[in-house]
Amino acid sequence: MVAPKFRRILLKLSGEALMGDDAYGINTPMLNSIVAEIKGVADLGVEVGVVIGGGNIFRGMAGVATGMDRATADYMGMLATVMNGMALSDAMRQAGLSARVQSALNVDQVVEPYIRGKAIRYLEEGKVVIFAAGTGNPFFTTDTAAALRGAEIGAEIVLKATKVDGIYTTDPKKDAAATRFACISFDEVIHRNLAVMDATAFALCRDQKLPINVFSIFKPGALLRVVMGEDEGTLVHV
């Protein structure tokens, strides 16, 4: 059997990915489908870290739009990611996959605090590590958390799971002639002003020479194909 191209990955999973076709909350079939995709690569010996978002439960900027203080709204969003992390961990347990949730906020009664050395040890033991609560700071997105945790744990690549199967020349929902980039450099992304991650996360990945792959988590087998190095999604490289 062909060996995976990547041995340690950081998967950035949005809270919205857990909703499926629902308006909010967690769609159980979608949750189980994502877990099956992760288990498929973990069973190959790939070490998997996951940064989970919280937009399906509470999006900080939505709170700001109603007049809420930005820092308060962001902390509420971080707590939403802890809830998603717990749900993801439980689904993994039921699927026979060992997982640990580590939070950047101290909520010791429900999940572990984030400790870099312990996270790396869990990965080496074959456990999936779910990083919740973003960076633990307001004003930073979970994209930035993914770039930061990816660099900290020595991931070989950050995989951004979205609803779109890559980066396109224009919006494929509005332009039928839009074409997908198989790969593109960090500099060209900046030159073309393409949206990949927020600016802080993107700059951190570029500075650390940490490649990014943008792919659709809704395509069956897409995560496995990315890990195997096949033409799936869009690879952003130095």
Q: What is the pLDDT of residue 64?
A: 78
Taking the C-alpha atoms of residue 57 and residue 134, their distance in angstroms, rounded to an integer, is 15
Alpha helices, DSSP H, located in 95-221: 116-124, 142-153, 186-192, 199-207
Q: Is position 121 annotated in a ligand binding site? A: no
Averages of pLDDT over each 10 residues, the chain, 238 residues: 91 94 92 97 98 89 81 95 97 98 97 98 98 97 97 98 92 89 96 92 97 96 97 95
Q: Structure pTM?
A: 0.95
Per DSSP, what are the bridge partners of residue 70? none
Gap between the Cα atoms of 147 and 224, Å rounded: 21
Q: Is 218 annotated as a binding residue?
A: no
The annotation status of 49 as a binding-site residue, yes or no, is no
What pLDDT does 173 receive?
83
Provide the phi-psi class of 106: left if phi over 0, else alpha when psi is between -120 and 50, else beta.
beta
Residue 74 marked as a ligand binder: yes
Residue 162 among known ligand-binding residues: yes
> Is 106 annotated in some ligand binding site?
no
Let me know: does 196 contact 146? Beta carbons within 8 Å. Answer: no
CA distance readout (Å), 26 to 88, 94, 155, 181: 10, 16, 28, 31
234 annotated among ligand-binding-site residues: no
Q: Which domains does the chain have, with CATH numbers?
A: 8-237 (3.40.1160.10)
Tell me if residue 91 falls in helix, strand or coil. helix
Is 77 annotated for ligand binding?
A: no
Residue 172 annotated in ligand binding: no
User: Residue 188's closest CA among 169, 175, 207?
Assistant: 169
Q: Is the dihedral of CA 205, 206, 211, 214 positive or negative?
A: positive
pLDDT of res. 176: 87
166 annotated binding-site participant:
no
